[in-house]
Amino acid sequence: MTGSDPELVVPTAIRDRILERAREGAPEEICGIFGGDFESEGQSRVRSQYPAENVAETPRTRYRIDPEEQLAVFERLEDRGEEIVGFYHSHPRGPPRPSATDEAQATWPDRSYLIVSLDPLEVGSWRWREDDERFERERIVPE
């Protein structure tokens, strides 16, 4: 591993909005996409969040974003000059970290996976390191 420790800059207004969505969406998981400035190592910066529908068959314990909606969001953020920074989803009943399912189904190398846990109330973020097949915790920098 080279470079500095990973960080994710998250504007307070965006963090608050996601928390609000997570509370409104409970007991189901909510999810969405972050646009902004992406760095595979070091600091990524969230500039926008794009809510997406959770189309998982069991949305209380799973989340999935429909590919057509995903593509539409990517086109919107690219039109705004943003990069794909990462994704967020909620864990209405915890845990405040990636679940075994999150690890088994992660596919985006080096992107941020931010998790809002409601019980216990905690917001954390991790980078998916594909070569190691594990999540690496990153620091959230409020802005």
Interface contacts to other proteins, rule CB under 8 A = 31, 33, 52, 56, 61-65, 67-68, 70-71, 74, 83-84, 87, 89, 98-102, 105-108, 111, 113
Nearer to other proteins, 122 or 143 (CB): 122
2 burial level (CB within 10 Å; 0-12, 13-18, 19+): exposed
29 is catalytic: yes
Six-digit token string for 35: 């646009």
58 burial level (CB within 10 Å; 0-12, 13-18, 19+): exposed
Nearer to other proteins, 22 or 106 (CB): 106
User: What letters, b where the CB count within 10 A reaches 16 and e where it falls short, cover 87-117?
Assistant: bbbbbbeeeeebeeebeeebeeebbbbbbbb
Min dist CB 68 to other proteins, Å, is: 6
Nearer to other proteins, 7 or 32 (CB): 32
Min dist CB 61 to other proteins, Å, is: 6
Six-digit token string for 131: 């070569």
Active-site residue, from 20, 24, 28, 29:
29
Six-digit token string for 10: 């998250």
Min dist CB 80 to other proteins, Å, is: 15
Catalytic residues: 29
